[in-house]
Structure 1
Amino acid sequence: MTTFDPRLDLTIERVIRAPRSVVWRAWTEPERLQQWWVPAPTIARIDSLDVQPGGAFVTSMSDDGDTFVPHADGLFLIVEPQARLVFTNAISSTLRPAAPAPVPMAAEVSLAEHPDGTLYRVVVRHGNPADRDRHEELGFFDGWSAVTSALAALAENDAA
């Protein structure tokens, strides 16, 4: 894991009471990811999930279950099974510079052993303080906390 720079980065950390393998599956299996990837009651659709370096990560979301709009279009940069995922929205799934995203970022998801299950940490990195601050203003902590809670509930239920 790289270092955290509070001027540029935002982070969420939580212990999930489930093995790393279960949390990993929730991130890497489309039918599981769609259950928690966007805050409820919004619904996620996983359009492409190719969990390998350079693989596409494309999702859509819907408030009514019928009309879906783009949510994320990026790619995986680093994949270390059951330990770390790094993805970005700065490069699209077509390997082109992304159309201006609300906030360009790279997210590092790390899973570590913990006596109670998995230490789950996400660090979202930004290129400059203005983008970091904008992401926080757009609701980073509310949104990522909500989906992390949904991820934990799914993983803990799967582990039970």
Structure 2
Amino acid sequence: MDLDPKTDLTFTRALPVPPALVWECWTSPEHIPHFFVPRPHSIKSVEIDLRVGGKFNTVMVVEGNEMPNEGVYLEVVPGKRLVFTDAYTEGWKPKPDPFMTAILDLEDDGKGGTIYTATARHRSAETAQQHEAMGFYDGWGTVVDQLVEYAQSLQR
């Protein structure tokens, strides 16, 4: 994948959790609320239809305010890659002000863990800068930390 440093934000981390479990956490509605937003924010509801064109909808609660986020999956490669966007809602209905497309790549590290790469692609450099200023790296990094903590609790 060719990244554009003006419009794409990305990072890679080694996770001490197997790719299959990371995949399960990212693709099962019952798991998403446990890691998807940095605490103390929360997820009120999740709807997943795990297929290209299927919905990936969440309702976040941030400082007491509900923030619905509707989107669709653009690519689903079981155990390896998820691509979802808020540019469309279910039924390929375009949204007037899309923010980003998220790409999650999972690779087996050969030692029982996962090489996890998260990328947020934006339509413009301004939107990417806005997302970075909102705390992309800290926020998405916190989400990964919460994901590891939660996934490890499932392994016990």
Give TM-score, length-normalised by structure 1. 0.88
Which of 104, 107, 128 lines up with 2:124 in the alignment?
A: 128
Could you list the runs of 4 or more consecutive aligned residues of structure 1 that deviate by over 4 angstroms after TM superposition?
Answer: none
Q: Identity across aligned pairs (percent)? A: 33
Matching of residue 34 in structure 1 with residue 33 in structure 2: yes
Shift, 1:94, TM fit: 4.7
Shift, 1:63, TM fit: 4.8
Which of 78, 92, 113 lines up with 1:95 in the alignment?
A: 92
Shift, 1:127, TM fit: 1.6
Deviation string, structure 1 residues 60-89 (Cα, Å, up to 9, x no partner): 12257xx66134211000000000000001
* Superposition CA RMSD, Å: 1.7
Deviation string, structure 1 residues 92-143 (Cα, Å, up to 9, x no partner): 2352221424xx2111100001134000111111122111111111211121
Shift, 1:3, TM fit: 1.9
C-alpha spacing 1:63/1:124, structure 2 compared with 1 (3 Å): closer
Helix, strand or coil: the match of 1:27? helix
Contact 2:81–2:104, Cα closer than 8 Å, also in 1: yes
**Which residues of structure 2 form unaligned runs of 5+?**
none
Contact 2:53–2:91, Cα closer than 8 Å, also in 1: no
Helix, strand or coil: the match of 2:31? helix
Which of 90, 106, 129 lines up with 1:111 in the alignment?
A: 106
Shift, 1:22, TM fit: 0.4
Contact 1:4–1:123, Cα closer than 8 Å, also in 2: no
Give TM-score, length-normalised by structure 2. 0.90
Contact 1:75–1:87, Cα closer than 8 Å, also in 2: yes
**Which residues of structure 1 form unaligned runs of 5+?**
none
Q: Which amino acid aligns with 1:112?
A: E
Larger deviation, residues 131-140 vs 81-90 = 131-140
In 1, distance between residues paired with 2:36 and 2:28?
Answer: 12
What corresponds to 1:150 in structure 2? 146
Residue-pair matches, total: 155
Q: Which amino acid aligns with 1:129?
A: A
Q: Which amino acid aligns with 1:46?
A: S
Which of 73, 92, 105 lines up with 1:76 in the alignment?
A: 73
C-alpha spacing 1:134/1:115, structure 2 compared with 1 (3 Å): same
What corresponds to 2:21 in structure 1? 22
Helix, strand or coil: the match of 2:89? coil
